[in-house]
Structures are given as structure tokens and as C-alpha cells.
Structure 1
């Protein structure tokens, strides 16, 4: 009997020792997790917490923590990218506002100081002030349009739209401009109506931006193209040109805020750098996608994809 009790006591002591040891190991592991997590948060690193353990509860906890860390890393990276983009956008907007406003200020000072200005000279200066003021207003309106779109403060109800008619209307609106710069037009729009899920106003603005962009940057190719096609699930609109195109290095950047090519600061190519950003946001509002492919001086294509609707 005494032997039996001794064995039982020894077994109990062994179990207690094992539990105490396991508890100590868990405390050490939890302390390590806490310290490591605190370091990751403080130093804002992209590390994860790696611990070798057979404890199922700890494994589940670590999996959840690492998933949260990964989401946090993505949010921080997105925030940093947005912050950098906003700083660049504000710097460029300041530059683009400063230039015409400086001209306006110069013209007004000339009008104030030169009392003997002829009527012809006065009209020339006033005309310059008018043009530069319109430039400033256009930039401000574009900036606030993007701000409203990104804040979700826009009303673009998604309905069934006739893609053929919208494309024809938009390419015709540029007819005089296309003819004035000597471009050929290559249009492929099926006679049979093609319908997509979208918004006519938003699609109008998207096409307007893309066609204007093709004329501004692709005029050297002497061709402007627009193609409407579809498959069983989607409708595709290709706006293309054969101009200088965009190098592969820049393709991923063209939809960023305030992105402009080097010669966009030239007078003939001047733009706010927000047009393609707005274009992408509008396509996304219509639950579509936009892609760019470009082979310089061969073919540059912006492709809009929208969900197809049956007749």
C-alpha cells in the first residue's frame, strides 16, 4: 500500500513538475511574442513573429497575429505611398498655379504702371490675363474633381449603357481637332449594339480623357484608333495611337496622381497630371478595369474593360 501511494505521489509530482515547466516555457514564449511585437510596432518593420511551438493555441494565436501584422504592413505601405503622392501632387499643383498667376500679376502690374498703354496693347494684356485665369480655374476644378471622386462624393449610378453610341459620340466630338492636326482615324465599332454595365457620364469623361491624351501624345504617329470588341463576359474599348508611346519603365506610373512625362511641361503637352488618375477612378467606379500596353512609335493602347450586359 505504501509502495502504491509512493508511486502515485511520484507520478503527481512528475505531472506538477511537467506542468510548471510547460507553464514557464509558455510564459517565456509569450514574453518573447510581446517583446517582438512591441519592437515591430515601434520600429515599423515588415517582420513577422516566428516561434517553434507544439502548443496548438499558441500556433493559432501566432497565425492571427501575423495575419494582422501583414494587413498592418499593407495599410502602412499604402499610407506612405499616398502621402508621398499627395506631397508630389501639392508640389506640382503649387508649381502649375504659380506660373500662370505670376504671368497674371505681371500683366496687371503693367496695366497699373504704364498709363499710356495703347488700346491694342491693353487688349493683348487683358486677353493674356483671361487665358491664364482659365488655366488656373481648370486646374483647380480638376483637382477638386479628383478629391470628390476619391472621397466617394459623386453620383454615378450604374446602369445599362450603349457602348457603341457613346464611343461614336465621343470620337465625333474630336473630329475638327483630329482633322486640324492631320490625323487619320481608324474606327472599328460593330453595327450591332453592344451594352455594358456602366455610367454614360463617367464613360464620356473617360473616353474624352483618353482621346485627348492620344491626340496630345500620339500625333507623331499620324493615326488615332478606337475599337469596340467583346467576349462572353466583358466589353472592351481600345483607344490607341502609333505615336512615341510610353516606355515600359513608366507604364506602372501613368495612373498615379500628378504623373507627367518629361515633355508634358512643354506648352503643347501641358496638363495637370490628373487626367489619367481620374480616368482610372471613374473606370473603377463602373466596376471595370483599365490597362495600358505600349510599344513606342508602333502602338500604344489604353484598354477599358466593362461587364457585358445582354440585349
Structure 2
């Protein structure tokens, strides 16, 4: 009887000692985690928490914390990119507003200073003022359109849209302008209607932006193309040119707000820098994708893919 009691007491002592050391080990592991978490919180360090443990609960805690750190790193990186993009956008917008405003101010001074100016000269100057005013108006409208798209305030209803017909109508709008520049049109549209889940107004704007972009940057290649094909389950729309193209480093930024190629800061060649950003947002709202591939002086291709629907 005494022997049995001693065995029980020994077992209890072993359990108590095991629990004591387990608790102590757990406390040390938690203290180590806290020491690694503190600089991450205070100094915005994004290194993972490293700890060797055989405790399943502690291991699960480490996995969860490291996932949270990864998400925080991604959000921080996105915030930095967005902040830089906004600064770049504001700088470019300031430049693009300042240029036409300076011209308008100059013409206003001319009208004010030269009272004996001929009527034809006055009309010429007023026409220039009107053009620059429209330029400013267009830029502001583009800016607010983008703001509405990114804020989710502008809803785009989707329906079955005849892509073939819209492409025909859009290229006809640009045909005279393109041919007057001595540019060849490479057109490849299917003989039958192809339908996609889209919005007619949005698709018109996307195509207009892409064709305008091809004219602005690719006219030197003397070829502008529009190809439409069926790549189940998508309808693929390709707009391309054979101009100077886009360097690989610029291809990653081409859809950013207000991004324009540096050599194109000349207003004769560049737009507001919002066109491609708006294009991308519109494509995404129609549940599609858009990509760019460019080989300078060979081919610069923008490909938009929309979900195909049955006739």
C-alpha cells in the first residue's frame, strides 16, 4: 500500500515538473515572439518571426503572425507605389494645366495691348484661346472620370455587345485621320458578329484611347492595326503600331496615372497621361484584361480580352 502511494506521488511530481518546464518553455517562446514583434511594430521592419518550437499551438501562432507580416509588407509596398504615383500624377497635371493656361494668358495680354488689331487676327487668337480652354476642360474631365472609376462611383452596366460592329465604327472614325498622315491601316475583323460581355460606351472609349495612343506614339512606323479574334472563352481585340515602341522598363508603368513617356513631354505628341489608366479601369470593370507587348520599331501591341457570350 505504501509502495503504491509512493508511486502515485512520484507520478504526480513528474507531471508537476513537466507542466512547470512546459509553462516555462512556453513563456520563453512567447517572450521571444514579443521581442521579435516589437521592432516590427515600432520600426516598420517586415522580417519574418523565426522560432524553433515543437508546440503545435505556438507553431500555428507563428504561421498566422508571419502571414500578417507578409500582408502588411504588401500593403505598405502598395501604399508607397500609390503615393509615388499620386505625386507623379499631380506634378504632370500641374505641368499640363500650366502650359495651356500660360498660352491663354499670353493671348489675353496681346488682345489687351493691341487695340488696333485686325478682326481676322482677333478671331485667330480667340480660336487659339478656345482650343486651349477645351484642352484644359478635357484634362479635368479625364481626371474626374478616373477618380470616379477608382472610387467605384461610376457603375458600368454590362450587356451582350457586338464587338465586330463597334470596332468597325471606331476605325471608321479614325480612318480619314490615319490615312491623311500617310499611315496604312492593317485591319483584320471577322466576317461574322462576335459578342462579348461589355458596355458599348466603355468599349468605344477604350478603342478610341488605344487608337489615339497608337497615332500619338506610333505614327512613325506608318502602320496602325486593329485585329479582332475569338480565343475561347474570350474575344481578343488587338491595337498595334510599328513605331518607336515602349522600352521594357516603361511597359510596367504604362497604365499608371498620368504616366507619359519622357521623350513625349512635348505636347504635340502626348496626351494627359490618363487615357491608358482609364482604359485599364474600364476593361477591368467589364471583367476583362489588357496587356502590352512592345519591341521598339517592330511592333507595339495592346491586347484587350473580354468574356465571349453566345449570339
Structure 1 residue runs of 5 or longer lacking an equivalent are none
Show the counterpart of 1:17: 17
Show the counterpart of 1:87: 87
Show the counterpart of 1:77: 77
Show the counterpart of 2:104: 104
Trace 1:1-311 onto structure 2 (pairs within 5 A).
1-311=1-311
Measured after TM superposition, the shift of residue 127 of structure 1 is 2.4
Deviates more, 1:26-35 or 1:276-285: 26-35
CA contact 1:139–1:272 (8 Å) conserved in 2: yes
Cα distance between partner residues in 2 of 1:235 and 1:210:
17
Cα distance between partner residues in 2 of 1:272 and 1:49:
45
Measured after TM superposition, the shift of residue 246 of structure 1 is 1.1
User: Residue 27 of structure 2: SS of its match in structure 1?
Assistant: helix
TM-score using structure 1 length: 0.95
User: Residue 268 of structure 2: SS of its match in structure 1?
Assistant: helix
Could you list the per-position Cα deviations for residues 259-288 of structure 1 after superposition, in whole angstroms to 9, with x for gaps in the alignment? Answer: 111232123212111111111111101111
Cα distance between partner residues in 2 of 1:86 and 1:257:
7
Measured after TM superposition, the shift of residue 23 of structure 1 is 0.7
User: Residue 69 of structure 2: SS of its match in structure 1?
Assistant: helix
Deviates more, 1:117-126 or 1:148-157: 117-126
Cα distance between partner residues in 2 of 1:255 and 1:244:
18
Deviates more, 1:100-109 or 1:178-187: 100-109
- Relative distance call for 1:101 and 1:127 in structure 2 (3 A) is same
Shift >4 Å, 4+ stretches: none
Measured after TM superposition, the shift of residue 59 of structure 1 is 1.2
Cα distance between partner residues in 2 of 1:232 and 1:134:
42
CA contact 2:226–2:237 (8 Å) conserved in 1: yes
For this pair of structures, how many residues does the alignment match?
A: 311
RMSD: 1.5
CA contact 1:255–1:277 (8 Å) conserved in 2: yes
CA contact 1:263–1:269 (8 Å) conserved in 2: no
Measured after TM superposition, the shift of residue 297 of structure 1 is 1.2
User: Residue 236 of structure 2: SS of its match in structure 1?
Assistant: strand
CA contact 1:214–1:240 (8 Å) conserved in 2: yes
Deviates more, 1:214-223 or 1:1-10: 1-10
CA contact 2:216–2:270 (8 Å) conserved in 1: no
TM-score using structure 2 length: 0.95
Could you list the per-position Cα deviations for residues 228-252 of structure 1 after superposition, in whole angstroms to 9, with x for gaps in the alignment? Answer: 1112311101111111111222111
CA contact 1:254–1:260 (8 Å) conserved in 2: yes
Cα distance between partner residues in 1 of 2:31 and 2:111:
75
Measured after TM superposition, the shift of residue 107 of structure 1 is 2.2
